């Protein structure tokens, strides 16, 4: 039997000494996760 969790939490440790590059990486990661969630039909 397979079970699919109702909720999942994910943490990512992004680091960069350049604040602008760090924010860009955060935005890119969020966009990627949102696109993936849409493709898979999850929220």
**pLDDT tens digits along 1-28:** 898 888 889 999 999 999 999 999 999 9
Burial of 27 (0-12, 13-18, 19+ CB in 10 A): exposed
Instruction: Provide the Cα torsion 24, 29, 34, 36; round to 10°.
Output: 140
- What pLDDT, on a 0 to 100 scale, did the predictor assign at position 6? 85
Q: How many Å apart are CA 37 and CA 17, to the nearest integer?
A: 30
Element (H, E) at 2: none
**pTM exceeds 0.85:** no
């Amino acid at each position: 039997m397979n079970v699919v969790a109702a909720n999942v939490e994910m943490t990512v440790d992004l680091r960069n000494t350049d604040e602008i590059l760090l924010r860009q990486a955060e935005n890119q990661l969020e966009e990627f996760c949102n696109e993936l969630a849409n493709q898979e039909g999850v929220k």
